[in-house]
Copies of this chain bind each other. A is one copy, B any other.
Amino acid sequence: MTRRTTLKDIARETGVHVSTVSRALDPQKRGSITEEVVDKIREAAERLDYRPNRIAFSLRKQKSMTIGVMIPDITNMIFPAIVRGIESVMEPLGYAAIIVNTDGNSDREKRLIETLQDRGVDGIIHTAVLRSAPNIVEVAHQGLPVVTLNRKVEEADIPYVINDEEAGIRQIFELLYQAGHRNIAHLSGPPDLSTGLLRQQAFLAVTADYGMARDDLVIEEADRFEEAEGRRCTQAILSRAPETTAVLCANDRLALGAIDHCTRTGVKCPADISITGFNDMAFLDLIPPGLTTVRIEQFEAGAQAARLLAKILDGHADQVPRETVLPVSLKIRNSVAVPRASKS
């Protein structure tokens, strides 16, 4: 491999000192150098195809221009969009991202955080699903800039970006309610995942607002956000509460499982039962009957988290709000109808 050209090479070539070359090539300090010298240096830099060595820069400046992005699992379809959102603001700023997958494993997460620190990342964007994330809190306390996504951090003063899960649940509940449903069950996500808990809490809040007694509520908690759990919980719901006319699911995959269970057992959606999702994942429109769901802005959430981190890295931590809540919107398709009883 042919050695890359360094400042030293340009200095030798132009007959000036390395530091002069460094200054001439730095837009900030170019002013303090004679114009003709600058030109000479720039010409030589161009000719020798000079590219600054960012590793040397990093060592000297104690700034790697790299951030760490921690996600549970990139194959989970919501994260690629988040990653692109982050990239869309960080890349133009000159930052690269090291993306690591925690697999929701706390030990692994801890190791990965250390790896990121060893590599001198300037900050971390942590998109949690697990509710507890003690590791990242510790590192934030050490002074490393951290922004979390999808997760409120109560323990520490870490800025976080979340979707308005509460509003989403509320809106979709009201959609069902206004369609005439009164027996609305909740197919909840795992309560140890932040979205599972938040959405269940929102369900409790909105039902309370509508005067439903907590004891009358039908809530079934899935162990994982997967179709199989959606099927299992739907069966549980319908055998426990056959009067159920609508199932408000904590995410799309659970809802798809719910629909699948109903279809298999001869219960038609939406004719016999209304089912709703959350997230609005890709290809949902192609899956019958067309799931009515809540759309969340993944790309924008990533971009927003990145903007906050960038502000902190820029020394303006004071301008960064502790909480940022992103709006959600309803995506109405065909899985909600007037309940059977009301129809006749």
Which residues of A are in contact with B by a Cβ distance under 8 Å? 1-2, 4, 51-56, 58-59, 64, 66, 73-75, 77, 79-81, 83-84, 87, 96-101, 114-115, 117-120, 142-144, 227, 256, 260, 282-283, 286-288
Contacts and interface: CB of A to CB of B under 8 A. Distances in A.
Contact of A115 (B74, B83, B96): B96
A180 B125 CA distance: 55
Contacts of A2: 142-143
Contacts of A101: 84, 87
Nearest to A299: B75
B282 A77 contact: yes
Given A74-B83, A74-B84, A80-B75, A1 B97 contact: no
Identical chains in the assembly: 2
A97 B56 CA distance: 19
Q: Which of A4, A51, A59, A75 has the most CB of B within 10 A?
A: A75
Contacts of A58: 55
A83 B56 CA distance: 28
Contacts of A56: 59
B97 A53 contact: no
A18 to B, nearest CB: 16
Contacts of A80: 74-75, 79-80
The 8 closest A-B pairs by CB, nearest first: A1-B143, A75-B80, A74-B80, A55-B58, A54-B118, A55-B120, A55-B59, A286-B287
A13 to B, nearest CB: 20
Contact of A99 (B64, B97, B288): B97
Nearest to A83: B74
Given A54-B120, A288-B288, 10 more contacts: A51-B114, A55-B58, A59-B59, A74-B83, A74-B84, A75-B81, A80-B80, A87-B101, A97-B99, A99-B99
Q: Which of A2, A74, A98, A260 has the most CB of B within 10 A?
A: A74
Contacts of A142: 1-2
A58 B55 CA distance: 7
Contact of A74 (B4, B73, B74): B74
